[in-house]
Each structure stands twice: as C-alpha cells, then as structure tokens.
Amino acid sequence: MSLEQTPTTEPSINTTDDYIPSRTKLYKNTNSINWNYTTDFTRDNYNKMKDASFKFHKSLPDYHPTPLVRIPFNINSANKSVNSANHDTTTATSSSSPYSEKDIEVYVKMETSRFNLPSFKMLGTGWGIFKILCLKLGLDYTAASFTDLKTTINNSKLFPSLTLLACTDGNHGRAVARMAAMLGLPSLIIVPRNVLDTEVAKIESEPGCTVERVQGNYDFAVEYCDLLCGYSESLSLSNFVAGNDNEDGEMLINVGGNGYVWVQDFGTDNYTEVPVWIAEGYSTICRELPFDPDLIVVPCGSGCLPHGITAYFRNSNTNSNTHVMLAEPFTAHCVNKSLTLASASSDSGNSMTIMDGLNCPTVSSVAWPVLRDGVSFSGLVGELDVVDAVLKLKDDAGLDVGPCGGISFAALMNFVGGNDDGEDGLLKELKDLKMKNGDEGPVRVVLLATEAGREFSLREEGEFLKSHL
C-alpha cells in the first residue's frame, strides 16, 4: 500500500513562523511548581488511576522496577553546544562554572527494557489497552488483573473479530503489538515514511502483527488510522461499553465494521480519552523512584510521556517540588514551539532526525494543557550533541541507550550552565529555588533514558539533516 500525504492544517493549531528554534535558549516557567493537575483533564480520580495502573503492571509477567543509576558528571565539561557552521564543539560560556561536583547529583532511570521490550512504552500502552478491554467486557479495571482479562477474552465470542490498531514511529506500535499477542488478538500497526526498515522488522516480529507503511509523516499516519476506523461514524462509549455510565456519551473508542480498536498516545479533537489513559500508565516510572528529584528530564515527541510524568509530580496529593524539563530534537520541536508561543503548534512535518520516536510534527491535544501549565523547562538538542551523549553514557557509565534515550543527558549537558546572552542555566536556577526553601543540598537530577541502544545513521537522513547538526 502507498498512501501519499496531502497537506492538512487544523484551525486550532498555530503554524506560524513566529518562532526561531535555538539550541542555546532555555524555555523557563518555574511557576509551574504551583500548578496542580486536576480532574479537569480526566473524569477519573487521578490517584485512583495511578494506583490501579501500578497494580496492573505488577500483575503482568516479568514486571520489575527499572534501574536508577548514578553517573559521573563534571559540571565544567558540560554546557557544550555544536556550532552548526563547522560542527566544532564550543563552550557556551567563557569561564568555568562557579559550581563543583558536590553541587549536583545525576541519575539515569533506565527505561530501556520493560517486559522484554527495548523501551518504556508497555507501561502506558499496556494500561491503555487493559482499560479499554476491561470496559468492553464490563470488568472493574481497578480490581482486575492481566490474568483476569485474558481469561475473560478467551471465554468471549466477540474478540476474534477485534484488531488492535496504532500508528507509530517505532516503540509504541511494537508495545501495542506485543500486548495484542499476549492477549491472543491480532494487531495492525501503521508506520510513517521515516521509520527504519530495521524497526519495522522488529514490530513485524510480534505474533499476529501486520505492518503497513504510509508515504507521509506521523500526523498523516494518525489521519490514516482515523480513516481506517471511520472515526466520525464511530460508536459512542455508551453504545460500546457494557454497563457504561458515561454521562456525555463521548466518542472514545471505535469498533467499526472492520473491528479496529484504536490505541493511540496522541490526542486529537475527536480522540481524547485513550491518550490520557496511556499517560496514566507512565506514573509507574515515577513511583519507582526512591526520592523526588529536583529536576526530571524527559524526552519529548508529541507529549504523551511528558504528560504522564508532569501529571504525577504536579498532582496535589504528591506534594512534590520536582521540576519537569522537556528535551526535543532541534529539527522536530512542536512542544518547545508551543511553549514558546504559548499556543498549541505544529512544525512543517518534514523534519529529519535520528530520534525517530520523537519526530512528531504536532503536540497532542490532551497533553498540551498539562505541559503548558506544568512544565518548568524546555530545550532543543542537535543531532551530534545526542550522538556525543550516547557515546559518553556508554564509555563513562556503561549504559547502552539509543538516540531517544540519550537526548535527556544531552539536554542536561547543554543547559546546565548559562549561555552567552547572560541567561542563567539549570543548575543556578535550581540551586536558587532550593535555597529559597532553606535547602543547601545538591541538586538531584533524574534523566529518563527511554530507548535501548539501536542502529541509527546520520548519513541516511541526507543533506537537510547535516545542515542542522
């Protein structure tokens, strides 16, 4: 199949050019620490869902917390940026940092292996699918286990006609396919043109999975899933879920004549609930931390993972002083653009980056209000900076991560100190905030490494990418 992309623009999305991406300018909103994630964004009680998703994860085969590894960090060798004209590495400041190693502790949360998959995605995707299917079967998803759901599916005559559907840049789709296989269901995964053949092969290796590639970007793949489902004609939740008491009958889950159940971590105007459920599942990452860090750095594509992390730390019951920072590729920056312009935005959709999983042109509609109000920092990172971070983590700490996993470390390296314009860097900002609370201890930073080491090639992306290194 070869579907060609035709340009589409949603009226609610800012697509202006009033934005200049920068690898040295740090977006800041430290007042976000006072914002609370509330049930305005989901009808469910967040703390109840957080506990239920954690209970579900523990009921899955092979659940175990992922490692938290402290790594060496030399403040005076950090704060590097790549000069796009000659690719020389240059310091962003003219003098050494006034801080020392005792002022900062850096940890990496190795989200590179969950349930024998090379990323964190099963946490969110698994919980989203579990919740969808429990609702379909009338099970209480706050009490049921994975085994309960599988047993009920095996005894149901409806489920052989259902296919789990998703579009993906890689790991989300494979997680959907894996969960489908675990439940004995088929899956159809749609991939955009930029996904490497090696990643497609990994998705296709999941039993019962079919992969189709579309000749368009990630947004186009989302639109194609919408088309497959006939989403404008989808059933309302009240018609779909056994025993549902949803008051407004919002169209949440489509099961058309072709039997597709769409499981997507990207929200649109007509598809809002499931991406929130997937974000809920990522709260387990934070629950496993033995302490609340001063800063957590999160790789960002369309915003689902940052949505889940921000919701956890900005929930009133958590009472946390953790600041959230987002790290995006310099060439794919829809969330940084949205934060900078204070308006949900998209980029051209023709971006090229070795970070395929973060190559998303448009911010998720359900993630945007959470990120707008709850994120403290956001920064862009060049390709060579990410390659350098991946190699440094391997050489200095023995950690094997892919580009989407290395971007968190690259962002910290680039923004921990100030820039040539005299703007304060992360360390000074966070030290000052801690001092206001009477805390003179070191700044503790957690970096999310969200992808295991994998094949990637700068040369495959062509001259456009080389001009943005």
* Class of residue 87 by CB neighbours under 10 A (exposed 0-12, middle 13-18, buried 19+): exposed
The model carries a pTM of: 0.86
* % of the chain at pLDDT higher than 70: 81
27-41+48-53+64-118+282-466 and 121-271 in the same fold: yes
**Across all residues in the chain, what is the average pLDDT?**
83
Domain boundaries, the chain: 27-41+48-53+64-118+282-466, 121-271
Can you name the residues that pair with 331 across neighbouring β-strands? none
Q: Which residue has the higher pLDDT, 383 or 421?
A: 383
Query: What are 185-205's pLDDT values in tens digits?
Result: 999 999 988 888 988 999 999
Query: What are 302-354's pLDDT values in tens digits?
Result: 999 999 999 999 987 777 999 999 999 999 999 999 999 999 988 766 678 89
What letter would DSSP give residue 102? Answer: G
Query: What are 43-68's pLDDT values in tens digits?
Result: 568 889 999 999 999 999 899 999 99
pLDDT band at 235 (very low <50, low <70, confident <90, very high): very low
CA distances, 323 to each of 81, 343, 443 (Å) = 23, 21, 11
Q: What is the mean pLDDT of residues 399-427?
A: 92
Give CATH for domain 27-41+48-53+64-118+282-466. Answer: 3.40.50.1100
CATH 3.40.47.10 describes domain 121-271: no
Q: Which residue has the higher pLDDT, 220 or 329?
A: 329
Q: For residue 289, is pLDDT > 60?
A: yes
Q: For residue 365, is pLDDT > 70?
A: yes
Q: For residue 451, is pLDDT > 60?
A: yes
Q: Of all helices (H) and strands (E), which one includes residue 436?
A: helix 426-436
Q: What is the mean pLDDT of residues 432-452?
A: 95
In this prediction, residue 461 carries a pLDDT of 44
Residue 96: CA count within 13 A, CB half-sphere = 8
- How large is the greatest C-alpha to C-alpha distance in the chain, in angstroms? 70
Most confident of 84-93, 180-189, 264-273: 180-189
* % of the chain at pLDDT higher than 90: 60
Angle at the Cα of 124 from the Cα atoms of 376 and 398, rounded to 5 degrees = 75
Query: What are 121-173's pLDDT values in tens digits?
Result: 999 999 999 999 999 889 999 999 999 999 999 888 766 678 999 999 878 99
Q: For residue 234, is pLDDT > 80?
A: no
Query: If you write DSSP's letter for every residue of 194-213 in order, what string do you get?
Result: TS-HHHHHHHHTSTTEEEEE
Q: Which residue has the higher pLDDT, 161 or 81?
A: 161
Euclidean distance between CA atoms 423 and 137, whole angstroms: 55
Q: For residue 243, is pLDDT > 60?
A: no
Q: What is the mean pLDDT of residues 225-229?
A: 82
